[in-house]
Structure formats: C-alpha cells, structure tokens
Amino acid sequence: MSKVFLTYHQTMGRVIVHLHGRPRGLGTKDLIESYGKRISSSGIDIEIHSDKVSASEYQDRIENRSGKLILLDESGNQFTSLEIASLLSDVAISGENLIFAIGPVDGFSEEFKSRHRTISISRMTLTHEMASAILLEQLYRASEINKGSSYHRV
C-alpha cells in the first residue's frame, strides 16, 4: 500500500510598521534601531518614509498597501500586550498583512482616521519617535509571548 503525502503551503502574513521620518533623537533612535533588529527575525518589517513626503502623500502610500491598516492615534482603543500577541498570531494564520502606521508630526487627518482602525499606546500625546519606540517594543514583546519565551513577565 503506497502512501500519498499532500503538502499545503500557506503564505504567512507580514507585519509592516510605517514611520514618517527617520528617528533623530538619540535615545529613541537607539531604541527604534534595537527593537527593529529584534523584531526583524519575527517577520516584522519597518518602512521609513522621508519626512519630506507630505502628510497626505504618506497617507496615500500606506493606504494603498495590501493588508489590514491600523493607525496609531491617542483617540484609538487601547490594547494589552496579550491582545497584540493575538493580532500577530492571527496574521500568521490568515496570511493577510497587518500594517501599523505611526502618524506624521501633526498626526493623521480626521477623514483618514475615520476610514481605518485606530489603536492607542497612551491617552497622552507622544512624539512620533516615542510612539514608534513603544510600538516596536510591544511588537517584540508580542512575538516573544507567541514564542513562549520568558521576556514577558506578569
């Protein structure tokens, strides 16, 4: 009796973080670079758009990417680290891309925000560099939660 093996290949979704402007602040730049390196092995990419690109052009660029777009905005819903880990896990299963976008210096337009899901890191207003560093740390934490590592301690 011969055995037949079927192979099924599912493309895993990617997680992409879009930043408007290269980080310049020494402390935040170092954090962004450090967590950027850590998350790259988990299939999370960072795309930095020049700050010379207008806010509306930046919005057009990220909106035209394929995947589920999530904007970071202080008025969005807040998530726990475990909920972010669940989002990453869902992406791996669904094959759909998950796109996070940190707004330009003056934020996203209200009209743009109304078309997309928004999440908040904090109710306080943060610089886009600080928000970037916190988001990248949380994505690293979420990927470590999904791996079962000891990084996330409760």
Domain count, the chain: 1
Phi, psi values for residue 110, rounded to 5°: -60, -40
The answer to whether residue 2 is domain-embedded is: no
Tokens 């972010």 correspond to: 84
Q: Is residue 153 part of a domain?
A: no
Please tell me the predicted confidence (pLDDT) of residue 3: 54
Residue 152, domain member (yes or no): no
Q: In which domain, by residue range, is 26 found?
A: 17-147
pLDDT for 144 beyond 80: yes
* Domain membership flag for residue 85: yes
Dist. CA 12–CA 149, nearest whole Å: 21
Q: What is the pLDDT of residues 19-62, one digit of tens each?
A: 999 888 889 999 999 999 999 988 899 999 998 999 999 999 99
In this structure, is residue 81 part of a structural domain? yes
Question: Could you give the 3-state DSSP secondary structure of residue 69?
Answer: strand
Tell me the C-alpha distance between 87 and 94, whole Å.
10
| CATH assignment at residue 133 | 3.40.1280.10
- pLDDT, mean of residues 133-141: 97
* Domain presence at residue 88: yes
In a domain, 71, yes or no: yes
Cβ contacts of 23 within 8 Å, gap of 6 or more: 29, 32, 33, 129, 132
Mind listing the pLDDT tens digit for each residue in 66-99? 899 999 998 899 999 999 999 999 988 888 899 9
